[in-house]
C-alpha cells in the first residue's frame, strides 16, 4: 500500500506513524516543514497544553517519549503540580493525572524526529494541489514543488491533515464528489502568549490554569482567564485569553497588568520573573468541524485527521489530544484488515465519537459567553444549568472533580458527568455548602 499524508504537522505526523504499520511506503507532503517550529505557523507559538489522554496516547505510539522529553528539559507534572482554578478558587488535586510541560514546537519536534526515523516514511517539502478520484477512490495526489513544478503521487490511501483551512472539500467537488458540510460556532477568541525566565519560584507547579465559571457568569470579573506551564529551557509559558473587545494585546505592560489580576501562581510569575521577548497574539474566529459522515457518497482511500476534521476553542486544550485519538481510530480501522480502497466508514465513525465529545464539551462551555449566539443544542438551558451546578460542586468535592478532570482530559465521555452518582453527590455538596453558609 502506498500511503500519502497531506500536511506534516502534529496530526499528519501521527497519521504517518499509524500508517507505517500497514503501508509499504508513507509519503508526507508538507511545504512548511523547514519552518514547522518557527514563525510560519503562528498558532504553534501559543501555549499548548497536552491533556493527560493525549500524553497517554503519545506514549503508546512512541514508547519512552516522555522520558526522552523530560531528559531534554520538559517537565512532567502530576497531582498538586497541576492546578486548575475556577472563578479564582483552586480545585482539589487529582492524583492520577500527568501532564507534560513543554512548548508545542518541542513536543512536535520530538514526535517528528521519531516519525521521520521510521524506515518507510519520507517527507517531501511539496504542496498538495488537489486529489484525483477515479473508480470511486482517491488514486493520486497532484502536488507542486517549491520551485513551482507540478506532478502527481500515486496513492492507495490518503490522509488529509492540512489543518482547519483544508481545501479537500473543494478538491472533492472539482472531481464531482460532494463536499462535507462545515459546521461553525463563532467565538471570536483572542490569545496572547509570553515567555518568562524561570527560577526557583513555584517549585511545585508545572501547570496552572484559571478560567471563569458560574460565580462570575463566565466573565473575567473575578479573575483573568489564563494559564501557565513550566517548559523546556527554564522558561514559563503564560497565556492570557479574552473574547471580542477584551482580546489581550502584545503590549507587555498590559499583559503584566492582566497577569496580576489572575490566580496566585500567574501573579507571582508577573512579579518575580523577567519576560523573554514580547507577547505574541492570535485571533481564533470560530470552532468548526466537517461532517464527513453525512455525505451520501464518500470516495475510498481517504481519511481526515486533526483540525481538518474538527478544530475547537483552544482554551480547553483539546486539539492535540483529539489528533492522537483520531490516530488511534485510524489504527483501529486499519487493524480490522479494512481494504484501503474502500470508503473508511468505520474510521469516520470512531473519529466522530471523539469529535462529538470534544465539540459538546467546548461548545456547551462557549455558549455561556454572552456574545456566542448559537447554534444551541436541544435542551440547552437544562444542560447549562446542570453543567453550572456540577462545575460548582467540582470545586468542593474531590470525587466529583476526579470525574470532571477525566472528562476535561478526554479520558471519559462528557456523559460520565450526568451519571446518577455524580448528580447525587453534586446535590449533596451544594446542599452542604448552603447549610455551612447559613450557620
Ligand atoms: C491559539 C491556539 C492555541 C491552542 N492551544 C492548544 C492547546 O493548549 N492544546 C491543544 O491540544 N491544542 C491547542 N490548539 C489546537 C492545536 O494547535 C491544533 O489542534 C493542532 O495544531 C492541529 O494540528 P493539525 O496537524 O491538524 O493542523 P496544523 O497544525 O494546522 O497543521 C496543518 C499542516 O498542513 C500543512 N498544509 C496546509 N496546506 C497544505 C497543502 N496544500 N499541502 C500539504 N500540506 C499542507 C500546513 O503547512 C501545516 O503544517 C491551539 C490552537 C490555537 C489556534
- Do 338 and 302 fall within a single domain? yes
Ligand 1 centroid to residue 420 C-alpha, Å: 38
Overall number of domains in the chain: 3
Which atom of ligand 1 lies nearest, measured to the CA of 128?
42
Ligand 1 pocket: which of 228, 310, 314 to mutate (most atoms <8 Å of CB)? 314
What is the whole-number distance in angstroms between the Cα of residue 419 and the centre of ligand 1? 34
Which among 179, 132, 181 is positioned nearest to 158, based on CA atoms? 132
127: helix, coil or strand?
strand
CATH of the domain at 114: 3.50.50.60
The residue out of 270, 285, 300 marking a domain boundary is 285
Ligand 1 atom having least distance to the Cα of 307: 26
pLDDT at 34: 64
Whether residues 173 and 194 share a domain: the answer is no
Gap between the Cα atoms of 168 and 119, Å rounded: 28
Residue 107 cell numbers, joined: 513536543
Within a domain: 49: no
**Grid cell locating 205:** 507547579
Cell numbers linked to 59: 506514549
- Going by their DSSP bridges, the two strands 25-29 and 132-134 should be labelled as unpaired
Rounded to whole angstroms, the Cα distance separating 390 from 290 reads 30
Quick one: pLDDT at residue 33? 66
248 preceded by cis ω (within 30°)? no
Domain boundary among 233, 253, 285: 285
Task: Report the distance separating Cα 144 and Cα 319, nearest Å.
Answer: 28
**Domain ends where: 238, 263, 285?**
285
Output the ligand 1 site: residues, CB below 6 A.
6-12, 29-32, 43, 46, 48-49, 127-128, 161-163, 191, 282, 284, 306-308, 314, 317-321, 323
- The verdict on residue 429 lying in a domain is yes
> What distance in Å separates the CA atoms of residue 193 and residue 255, rounded to the nearest whole number?
9
| Grid coordinates of 130 | 488537489
Pocket test for ligand 1, best of 4, 6, 7 (most atoms within 8 A of CB): 7
Number of C-beta neighbours around residue 149 at 10 A: 9
Shared domain check, 302 and 176: yes
- Residue with the nearest Cα to atom 50 of ligand 1? 314
C-alpha closest to that of 343 among 311, 313, 301 = 301
pLDDT in the model for residue 43: 87
**Same domain flag for 8 and 137:** yes
Query: How far apart (Å, rounded) are the C-alpha atoms in residues 234 and 200?
Result: 10
Residue among 5, 8, 43, 354 to mutate when testing ligand 1 (max atoms within 8 A of CB): 43
- What is the side-by-side strand order in the sheet with 25-29? 121-124, 25-29, 2-6, 157-160, 302-304
Residue 129 in grid coordinates: 494541489
Which amino acid residue places its CA nearest to atom 8 of ligand 1?
48
> Is residue 42 one of the residues assigned to a domain?
no
Backbone phi, then psi, for 363, in 5-degree steps? -75, -30
**What is the C-alpha to C-alpha distance for residues 189 and 286, in angstroms, rounded to an integer?**
8
* Cβ 224 vs Cβ 258: under 8 Å: yes
364 inside domain: no
Q: How many CB atoms lie within 10 A of CB 197?
A: 14
Q: Which domain does 332 fall in, by range?
A: 2-36+106-183+289-352
Closest ligand 1 atom to Cα of 284 = 53
Instruction: Say if strands 98-101 and 75-78 run parallel, antiparallel, or are unpaired.
Output: antiparallel
Q: Are residues 123 and 195 in the same domain?
A: no
- What pLDDT tens digit does each residue of the chain (439 aa) get? 999 999 999 999 999 999 999 999 999 999 986 654 444 577 889 999 999 999 999 999 999 999 999 999 999 999 999 999 999 999 999 999 999 999 999 999 999 999 999 999 999 999 999 999 999 999 999 999 989 999 999 999 999 999 999 999 999 999 999 999 999 999 999 999 999 999 999 999 999 999 999 999 999 988 999 999 999 999 999 999 999 989 999 999 999 999 999 999 999 999 999 999 999 999 999 999 999 999 999 999 999 999 999 999 999 999 999 999 999 999 999 999 999 999 999 999 999 999 999 999 999 999 999 899 888 888 999 999 999 999 999 999 999 999 999 999 999 999 999 999 999 999 999 999 999 988 7
Residues 407, 276, single domain; the answer is: no
Sign of CA dihedral 146, 152, 153, 159: positive
Residue 38's pLDDT is 44
Among the listed residues 356, 337, 345, 103, the one whose alpha carbon sits nearest the alpha carbon of residue 237: 103
Residue 40: what pLDDT?
Answer: 52
CATH, residue 90: 3.30.9.100
- Phi and psi torsions of 404, nearest 5°: -55, -45
Rounded distance from Cα 40 to ligand 1 centre (Å): 12
Helix (H) or strand (E) holding 380: helix 380-396
Cα Rg, the chain, nearest whole Å: 22
State whether 307 and 428 are in the same domain: no
| Distance between CA atoms of residues 292 and 177, nearest Å | 12
262: in domain = yes
Residue 200 Cα to chain centre, angstroms? 30
* CB contact at 8 A, 177 and 301: no
Q: DSSP for 37-104?
A: TSTTSGGGGS-----HHHHHHHHHHSTTHHHHHHHTT-EEEEGGGEEEEETTEEPPP-TT-EEEE--H
Please indicate, yes or no, whether residues 313 and 432 belong to a single structural domain of this protein: no
Considering the domain architecture, whether residues 273 and 399 belong to the same structural domain is answered as no
Could you tell me if 119 and 268 lie in one domain?
no
Q: What are phi and psi of 206, to 5 degrees?
A: -110, -40
Residue 184 backbone phi and psi in degrees, to 5: -130, 150
Looking at the structure, tell me whether residues 145 and 116 fall in a common domain. yes
Amino acid at each position: 500500500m502506498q500511503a500519502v499524508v497531506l500536511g506534516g504537522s502534529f496530526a499528519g505526523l501521527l497519521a504517518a506513524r499509524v500508517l507505517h504499520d500497514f503501508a509499504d511506503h508513507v509519503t508526507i507532503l508538507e511545504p512548511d516543514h523547514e519552518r514547522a517550529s518557527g514563525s510560519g505557523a503562528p498558532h504553534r507559538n501559543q501555549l499548548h497544553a497536552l491533556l493527560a489522554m493525549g500524553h497517554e496516547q503519545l506514549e503508546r505510539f512512541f514508547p519512552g517519549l516522555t522520558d526522552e522529553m523530560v531528559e531534554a528539559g520538559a517537565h512532567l507534572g502530576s497531582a498538586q503540580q497541576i492546578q486548575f482554578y475556577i472563578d479564582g478558587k483552586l480545585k482539589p488535586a487529582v492524583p492520577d493525572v500527568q501532564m507534560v510541560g513543554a512548548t508545542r514546537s518541542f513536543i512536535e519536534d520530538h514526535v517528528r524526529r521519531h516519525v521521520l526515523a521510521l524506515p518507510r516514511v519520507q517527507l517531501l517539502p511539496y504542496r498538495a494541489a488537489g486529489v484525483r478520484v477515479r473508480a470511486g477512490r482517491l488514486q493520486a495526489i497532484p502536488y507542486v514543488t517549491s520551485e513551482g513544478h507540478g506532478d502527481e503521487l500515486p496513492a492507495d490511501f490518503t490522509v488529509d491533515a492540512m489543518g482547519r483551512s483544508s481545501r479537500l472539500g473543494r478538491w472533492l467537488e472539482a472531481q464531482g464528489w460532494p463536499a462535507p458540510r462545515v459546521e461553525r460556532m463563532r467565538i471570536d477568541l483572542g490569545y496572547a502568549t509570553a515567555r518568562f525566565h524561570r527560577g526557583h519560584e513555584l517549585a511545585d507547579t508545572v501547570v496552572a490554569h484559571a478560567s471563569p465559571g458560574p460565580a462570575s457568569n463566565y466573565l473575567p470579573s473575578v479573575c483573568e482567564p489564563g494559564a501557565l506551564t513550566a517548559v523546556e529551557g527554564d522558561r514559563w509559558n503564560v497565556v492570557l485569553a479574552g473574547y471580542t473587545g477584551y482580546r489581550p494585546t502584545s503590549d507587555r505592560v498590559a499583559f503584566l497588568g492582566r497577569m496580576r489580576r489572575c490566580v496566585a501562581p500567574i501573579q507571582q510569575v508577573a512579579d518575580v520573573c523577567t519576560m523573554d521577548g514580547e507577547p505574541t497574539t492570535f485571533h481564533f474566529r470560530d470552532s468548526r468541524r466537517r461532517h464527513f459522515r453525512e455525505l451520501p457518497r464518500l470516495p475510498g482511500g481517504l481519511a481526515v485527521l486533526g483540525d481538518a476534521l474538527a478544530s475547537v476553542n483552544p482554551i480547553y486544550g483539546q486539539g492535540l489530544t483529539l489528533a492522537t485519538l483520531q490516530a488511534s481510530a485510524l489504527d483501529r480501522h486499519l487493524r480490522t484488515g479494512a481494504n484501503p480502497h474502500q470508503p473508511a466508514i468505520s474510521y469516520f465513525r470512531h473519529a466522530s465519537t471523539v469529535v462529538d465529545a470534544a465539540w459538546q464539551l467546548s461548545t456547551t462551555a462557549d455558549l455561556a459567553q454572552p456574545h456566542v449566539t448559537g447554534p444551541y443544542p436541544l435542551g440547552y438551558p437544562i444542560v447549562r444549568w446542570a453543567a453550572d451546578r456540577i462545575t460548582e460542586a467540582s470545586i468542593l468535592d474531590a470525587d466529583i472533580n476526579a470525574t470532571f478532570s477525566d472528562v476535561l482530559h478526554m479520558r471519559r465521555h462528557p456523559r460520565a458527568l450526568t451519571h446518577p452518582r455524580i448528580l447525587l453527590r453534586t446535590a449533596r455538596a451544594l446542599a452542604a455548602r448552603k447549610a455551612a453558609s447559613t450557620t
